[in-house]
Chains A and B, each alone.
Chain A
């Protein structure tokens, strides 16, 4: 076989099943690719020894006829998932040296099904960012470049390392987490598939928390089929997470029938935002057409509260984050900067341990929860969140799925928006509403920008109806015929 890293997850699965390759061979191919991709800075911690051991064990299981659904498939793990005895940083200085004595439920599930860990992937610090420029471990670089340019582009965020790793063939797939778009937007920026399942579908146990009511783990893969298989392994009820939902996990791959005839697809009018580049709008209309051609009915819908989604998100998420991040106090693990007294130690530790974006959000969150501001900000945001959910509830009485662009632009240059928080936050304008409503959403690569960069379209579905989301996503993927990949300019 020529280059094993070119196989998608399901192709590799089938090749392993047929005995065309082994987990060890496949893993070695990825370890080789990782070794050449330092310029992309996708990994914070590479774990080749662990990977080889896991691959050997996987081949042994297969030999005994005990292959799981993810048997032998080498994955990158976003460094927000706690991995037992392996450095877990959340891309923050404040977690220096932190090796958790426990494993997240999602990764436990993946290892249970035979997957192999290649390492821990870079991200925005504590998953706060849309460009992977806030990591203590440096920016992640998008494997894609504009035309013949050499300027580094961002991979999106916060799951930037995951997106780059999958796009650049450094892992067959990767885990991501999505709080306001952190799986879908980087997937769109790097030409891969990113699936955020329904809130409650995957356990949050062992995932470093950013905003608990929004955080949700999901797969980042090369194809919709890959995502369906991988989510099937990641998902499931977990008694250790009170917000995980006790529902059977369907066979998502079986949902990929390709048949969407008679299905109603909603096009939210409020998502046509002034200033959206024409190429994004054109791709969206193209998406409509593809789905119509496949036999679906296109239905204009209204999601009236859409324009309040972004401000609502930027109140709710920082509020929860300000409390979730209080445990990083230098007392029990990670960084401690000794001060004159207790308060000084707290302040020095957190001032040096947290980067600017994290500090900003902790301060915003603290402010909106403060006495005298709570009602005006946090409480009002919660009410609007309910209205946004009701918008979707009503829409889903008319339609089976909703089609939107994933992001308002293609990948941008590093530094281009980092000085302008509003422009940066606007990246999440199409992804945040579904996050607030807890809905499943997928970003599928559907076309190219004028600059030769991948663009994504997003499908949203009803709560716990990932099957429809996958089904429609696969039709879109198929119709677009997207098979672009970046030139491996980083390989010397």
Chain B
């Protein structure tokens, strides 16, 4: 258990998260308008999203399917009957004057997710519910000295709000939870998980207590939009609460925001100032009833989830947990690896992907989607080592060129004349030359200084510009020198 030290002893921090994940869908939750990120302001807005008189919401079935899929990803109960409610409040970026959400009867009920802690152990975090709701628009306050602008492109975009139990006990656990959530929704294709675009954001409920005590009063930090900020915000907030309590104060239940520039949380509104949202069932929408056969069909067609894939990589490919975790961190990497490993030595494939490819991608700041080397090409390169066309060392050179040019390895080998020399007579000729140039060293080896053999190998490889087959070189050297 990770505890925080205070003047009066150790403190335990208790964290629950509400993750808002934008559903990957071409259309909004209740209108046919598009959802492209970065479009010109107010170009992705239907009359429904703009709250025009007489306009009515109609549910987008695809978004419901995405929520159900995500429910399965969270090992959760799927509710065949759920209800949309209106959450009423006034704000210019909320055109209807209410947000359509699910309050008492969400589409997905209890579930859980297993996270891996920094020490390698696993912890189960409870998920209380997942519900569907629509996003609000965006208010822009910095474009005009005394006016605000409103962009309704996001208005009506489908969100999943996923509420955890207060099961996390450190900022690291919270970070691991969000990371895992992100991994799952990306595997499922239900949310792109791009936090920088606001596709995923979290409200963090934080309280502190002395170990064994009842739960403390919590504060909710709204809308934190990166894993790094989530950690910072929680760490700051926990420390702030400990300081307040240790100074004899009490924590007020309130909503706070995280100032990313200053790295601190600030009060937004107190419990007394909290809105009375006047939730009630939306009379424009009938209760959402889905049938078991449809749900079963969705379940039957789920992609393999990260935990299962990781286990399979360990079982079927004999990979270490570390390598399997790395490769399954996202679906594209896992798919890439599987394509490379197909019909080849899985461990060699793993080394190339995790060490060489990921190393290059890291260094050049690219994601796996942007890899200049295709899985098929990397597989071909491995094949050329296996069939002795090139040595492992030459392969590294070829790989570098592949990273630069995206060419096929065969083309590079051909173009640069890197094909390995396996013709023993040609190698023998070079070996003879090298031996003749260093008779003293030959004597030393014969006197027992075996290590010098390596020097000869190096010289021969150098003379052949690396193209000589190293095994053949060694074999011939040994024959010539040691007889």
A contact residues vs B (CB 8 Å cutoff): 81-82, 88, 90, 95, 98, 100-102, 104, 204-209, 211-213, 239-243, 319-320, 322-323, 325-327, 329, 331-333, 342, 346, 366, 369-371, 374, 378
Set of chain B residues within 8 Å of A206, measured between Cβ atoms: 54-55
Closest 7 CB pairs of A and B: A326-B97, A212-B283, A213-B283, A369-B278, A327-B51, A206-B54, A208-B53
Contact of A243 among B96, B276, B279, B284 (CB under 8 A): B284
- A326 → B minimal CB distance (Å): 2
Shortest CB–CB separation between residue A1 and chain B, in angstroms?
38
Residues of B within 8 A of A371 (CB): 276, 278
Closest residue of B by beta carbon distance from A371: B276
Once A88-B53, A100-B53 are accepted as A-B contacts, the answer to whether A242 and B284 lie under 8 Å apart by CB is yes
Q: Once the chains are docked, how many angstroms separate the CA of A207 from the CA of B56?
A: 9
A176, chain B: closest CB distance, angstroms: 16
By a CB distance below 8 angstroms, the chain A residues around B57 are 242
- For chain B, residues 43 to 84, give those with C-beta under 8 angstroms from any C-beta of chain A: 47, 50-59
Looking at A204, A331, A371, the one whose CB has the most chain B CB atoms below 10 A away is: A331
User: B35 to nearest A CB, angstroms?
Assistant: 19
B284 neighbours in A (Cβ, 8 Å): 209, 212, 242-243
- Knowing A323-B280, A326-B97 are in contact, say whether A82-B56 is a contact too (CB < 8 A): no
B280 — which chain A residues lie within 8 A by C-beta?
A: 319-320, 323, 369, 374, 378
With contact pairs A240-B58, A323-B97, A369-B278 given, residues A329 and B52 touching in the complex (Cβ less than 8 Å) = no
Q: How far is the CB of A128 from chain B (nearest CB, A)?
A: 15
Contact A208 to B54, CB < 8 A, known contacts A326-B88, A369-B88: yes
> Which B residues are CB-close (under 8 A) to A204?
54, 56
- Cβ contacts under 8 Å, A242 to chain B: 56-59, 284-286
A94 to B327, CA, bound (A): 59
- B-side residues, CB < 8 A to A, are 47, 50-59, 86, 88, 90, 92, 95-98, 150, 276, 278-280, 283-286
Residues of chain A within 8 A of B276, CB atoms compared: 370-371
Task: List chain A residues, Cβ under 8 A from B51.
Answer: 327, 332
Inter-subunit contact A331/B86 (CB<8 Å): no
A323 touches B92 (CB 8 A): no
- Within the complex, the shortest CB–CB distance from A348 to chain B, in Å, comes to 13
Residues of B within 8 A of A332 (CB): 50-52, 95
- Give CA–CA (A242, B53) in the complex, Å: 16
**B276 CB → nearest A CB, Å:** 5
- Contact A327-B53, Cβ < 8 Å, known A101-B47, A342-B92: yes
CA distance A319 to B278 in the complex (A): 9
Chain A facing B: main interface SS:
loop
Closest Cβ of chain A to B50, distance in Å, is 6
List the A side residues contacting B58 at CB < 8 Å. 239-242
Q: Let me know if A323 and B50 touch, CB within 8 A.
A: no
Asked whether B97 lies within 8 Å of A82 as measured between CB atoms, the reply is: no
For the complex formed, measure the closest distance between the CB of A178 and the CB atoms of chain B, giving whole angstroms: 16
Q: In the complex, A329 Cα to B94 Cα: how many Å?
A: 10
Contact partners of A326 in chain B: CB under 8 A: 88, 90, 96-98
Please name 15 further chain A to chain B contacts, defined as beta carbons within 8 Å, in addition to the given A369-B280, A370-B276, sorted by A numbering: A82-B53, A88-B53, A204-B56, A206-B55, A208-B53, A212-B284, A242-B57, A242-B286, A320-B280, A322-B278, A323-B88, A331-B95, A332-B52, A346-B90, A374-B280
Partner of A329, one of B88, B92, B286: B92
* Residue of chain A at shortest CB distance from B92: A331
Give the chain B neighbours of A211 by CB distance below 8 A. Answer: 283
Contact A366 B56 (CB under 8 A): no
- CB-CB under 8 A from A322, the residues of chain B are 88, 278
Please indicate the chain B residues that have their CB under 8 angstroms from the CB of A327 in the complex. Answer: 51-53, 95-97
Min Cβ gap B265→A in Å is 25
Q: Which residue of A lies closest to B275 (CB)?
A: A371
Closest residue of chain B to A342 (Cβ to Cβ) is: B92
